[in-house]
């Protein structure tokens, strides 16, 4: 393992969702080098059986560590984190991880109506980890878990092609909106890192306004707090243009993907 402070930060997701965390991380850690890994060969994670997905991710991280030796790894994916974050820490002791799990605690603290919805992949909705978060932090709220089969895929299309079927977005978010004894859902937790990219469409198609909770900045802050080197001093920030890369496990390098990655300051490996 290299000891230089120049080791990269690895950002990991099944697809483009982790870019919602990367964009916050780059603001907070402008001098750091990032490697963005999209396991698109296995997308969508939301549809996988748990044991197979866990084995797949653990094996992939073994290879990523051999290749990139990151200082820290951000699992910018709720579907992966709620399944394997504990196993990753066990299998790779000494490798710091930041996980991304549904922001149920802040939602429970912030809601006025007591009606909160968690919008996630079918995988995240099924996880014991998610149920435990609700039992631990939101026992006084009414929490509706909404598993969406389509939203992550719609976000992928939107980010590559620039348009999305708004009726499909409306249909996927509608179950989040609950009315009960004169109260209404006032917070929807975006518990999949793909969803912040569709939030404007969600706002537009929602039956009433809610607070859409995106945890990306909090995750980036957590990552910053784990860096040995700490935040850069004034004047210490190096101009790192072009050194951040994106790795797609499918080997995909079509024009739309390249253009999208360039928009996030990444070149394809
Ligand atoms: N971005 C991922 C998440 O945060 C999952 C998308 C998928 O692969 O289904 O859950």
Question: 3 alpha carbon to ligand 1 midpoint, in Å?
Answer: 32
- Give the integer Cα–Cα distance in Å for 126 and 180: 24
209 and 113 in a single domain? The answer is: yes
Considering the domain architecture, whether residues 12 and 63 belong to the same structural domain is answered as: yes
- Whole-number pLDDT of residue 189: 98
Pocket test for ligand 1, best of 79, 85, 126 (most atoms within 8 A of CB): 79
77 catalytically annotated: yes
| Structural domain ending residue among the three candidates 214, 229, 247 | 214
Angle formed by the axes of helices 78-91 and 50-68, to 10°? 60
Task: Say what the pLDDT of residue 269 is.
Answer: 85
- Closest Cα to residue 61, out of 16, 104, 17, 92? 92
Respond yes or no: is residue 192 known to be catalytic. yes
Residues 122 and 193 in one domain: yes
SS3 annotation, the chain: CCCCCCCCEEEEECCCCCHHHHHHHHHHCCCCCEEEEECHHHCCHHHCCHHHHHHHHHHHHHHHHHHHCCCEEEECCHHHHHHHHHHHHHHCCCCCEECCCCCHHHHHHHCCCCEEEEEECHHHHHCHHHHHHHHHHCCCCEEEEEECCCHHHHHHHHHHHCCCCHHHHHHHHHHHCCEECCEECCEEEECCCCHHHHHHHHHHHCCCCCEEECCHHHHHHHHHHHCCCCCCCCCCCCCCCCCCEEEECCCCCCHHHHHHHHCCCCEEC
Looking at residue 243, what is its pLDDT?
85
- The Å distance, Cα 166 to ligand 1 centre, comes to 20
What's the CA-to-centroid distance between 147 and ligand 1, angstroms? Answer: 11
Ligand 1 in reach of 77 Cβ (< 6 A):
yes
Number of domains observed in the structure of the chain? 2
**Whole-structure pTM value:** 0.93
Q: Are residues 165 and 257 in the same domain?
A: no
Asked if 174 and 210 touch (Cβ cutoff 8 Å), the reply is no
User: What is the spatial distance between Cα 264 and Cα 246, in angstroms, rounded to a whole number?
Assistant: 10
Contacts of 18 (CB under 8 A, 6+ apart): 11, 12, 36, 38, 74, 76, 77, 193
Residue where a domain stops, chosen among 194, 214, 234: 214
Catalytic residue among 112, 141, 176, 192: 192
The pLDDT of residue 230: 58
Instruction: Looking at the structure, tell me whether residues 43 and 170 fall in a common domain.
Output: no
Nearest residue (CA) to ligand 1, atom 2: 77
Please tell me whether residues 44 and 120 are part of one structural domain.
no
Nearest-angstrom CA–CA distance, 55 and 109: 35
Q: Which residues of the chain are under the pLDDT cut of 70? A: 1-5, 229-242
- By residue count, the chain amounts to 269
Is the CB of residue 192 below 6 angstroms from any atom belonging to ligand 1?
yes
Q: How many CB atoms lie within 10 A of CB 49?
A: 8
Q: What is the predicted pLDDT for the residue at 152?
A: 98
Instruction: Give the closest residue to 244 by CA, choosing from 17, 70, 54.
Output: 70
Residue 112 structural domain: 104-214
Same domain flag for 12 and 111? no
At 262, which CATH number?
Answer: 3.40.50.1860
């Amino acid at each position: 393992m290299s000891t230089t402070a120049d080791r990269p930060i690895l950002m990991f997701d099944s697809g483009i969702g982790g870019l919602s965390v990367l964009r916050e991380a780059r603001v907070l850690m402008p001098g750091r080098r990032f490697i963005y890994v999209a396991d698109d060969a296995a997308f969508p994670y939301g549809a996988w059986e748990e044991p197979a997905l866990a084995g797949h991710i653990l094996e992939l991280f073994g290879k990523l560590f051999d290749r990139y030796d990151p200082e820290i790894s951000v699992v910018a994916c709720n579907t992966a984190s709620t399944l394997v974050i504990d196993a990753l820490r066990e299998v790779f002791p000494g490798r710091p991880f930041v996980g991304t799990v549904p922001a149920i605690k802040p939602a429970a603290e912030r809601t006025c109506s007591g009606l909160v919805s968690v919008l996630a992949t079918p995988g995240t909705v099924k996880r014991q980890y998610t149920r435990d978060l609700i039992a631990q932090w939101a026992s006084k709220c009414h929490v509706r878990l909404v598993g969406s089969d389509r939203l992550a895929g719609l976000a992928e299309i939107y980010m590559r092609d620039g348009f999305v079927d708004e009726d499909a977005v409306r249909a996927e978010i509608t179950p989040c909106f609950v009315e009960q004894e004169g109260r209404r859902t006032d917070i929807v937790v975006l518990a999949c890192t793909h969803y912040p990219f569709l939030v404007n469409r969600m706002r537009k198609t929602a039956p009433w306004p809610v607070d859409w909770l995106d945890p990306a900045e909090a995750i980036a802050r957590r990552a910053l707090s784990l860096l040995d080197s700490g935040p850069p001093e004034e004047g210490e920030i190096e101009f790192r243009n072009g050194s951040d890369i994106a790795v797609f496990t499918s080997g995909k390098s079509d024009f739309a993907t390249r253009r999208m990655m360039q928009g996030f300051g990444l070149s394809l490996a």
